[in-house]
Amino acid sequence: MTLHNLWHQGCSFLGTEFAILGGAMTWVSERNLVSAISNAGGFGVIASGAMSPAQLGEEIQATLKMTRLPFGVNLITMHPELDALVDVCAKNRIGHVVLAGGLPPAFAIAKVKDYGGKVLCFTPTLAFGKKLVKMGVDALIIEGNEAGGHVGPVSASILAQEVLPVIRDVPIFIAGGIGRGEAIVAYLELGASGVQLGTRFVCATESQAHPRFKQAFIRANARDAISSVQLDPRFPVIPVRALVNDATRRFFEKQKEMIGRVDKGEMDLKQAQLEIERFWAGSLRRAVVDGDVENGSLMAGQSVGMITQEQTTHQIIQELIDQANIFIANKGEGSGGDVLTGDSILKRTHGRR
């Protein structure tokens, strides 16, 4: 078995050499990093975040000038102009749209498919995944709570065991805590079609994240990436995983403030949740763009501990591929064979294709 065989379905679905999606990270996954991931053989994804339709159109056009290879767009389902954002994707013939942030509205799925695009959605549970497939979603992304940013309660390894043996109608990509090629192979052997990595690309040379933001990632270990705690079960705040700093501590105070305002009838739960989202969006920009690593949000997955230096996107992806190929080749040689490394392994794995 070769890496090519293992993720052939994912590569065919994405139209790429490697079935590696770039996780959409607000303020990070823009034209420079997205095009670099696609040019290196992966699949870059623009994080539209709070962009207006006009801003998204400009970002797509700028990305098209930097790569001729496939890339996608991540849209937040809670965005008030979701309909118009889908229209922008249709106008620019974006082949793959990732709908994130909860159960996507049926109209968004239909509009993407009507213009010939493919829809990818995140599933936090098996039941949710089955529902998405029935709604017409073309592929699923399983994201474990090891990931950075907004996360669910279950690890990627558990979700993979629950979902992969059951849902076989569509390609499934695994995300959360993936930092090496050996882990990629393990999930592919379980039945995944590919993977998604976000944190691993933050310190890419092409990433426009502030140097201080990158240094915080390089210095961090896995235990520094902590998931926030929901203080009140009535208050539906999605946990966020980030490196601990003053901003994460202030988030607890922000939650207390919003809970108090809801209790006093000054705002409803939805308004309060939107205020929380604005808190994260603003503090994330302060960290990524301005380099304020104490007062800004350092959203990071637990794989941050595997980042030790800044590398080009090509080097990152090639390192993952080399690790995967070496792992597969060593398994094929068996425990009694010589351990092969470097070019000899790559030649032998290439010869088996």
Confidence of residue 137 (pLDDT cuts 50, 70, 90): very high
Q: Give the residue among 199, 176, 300 at the shortest CA–CA distance from 247.
A: 300
Domains of the chain with CATH codes: 3-208 (3.20.20.70), 211-303 (no CATH)
- β-bridge partners, 98: 74, 120
% residues pLDDT > 90 (the chain): 76
Taking only the tens place, the pLDDT of each residue in 66-119 is 999 999 999 999 899 999 999 999 999 999 999 998 899 999 999 999 999 999
pLDDT tens for residues 152-190?
889 999 999 999 999 999 999 999 999 999 999 999 999
Which pLDDT tens digit goes with each residue over 293-328?
Answer: 999 999 999 999 999 999 999 999 999 999 999 999
Q: Of 16-30, 34-48, 224-238, 293-307, which range is least confident?
A: 224-238
Beta bridge partners of 195: 20, 174
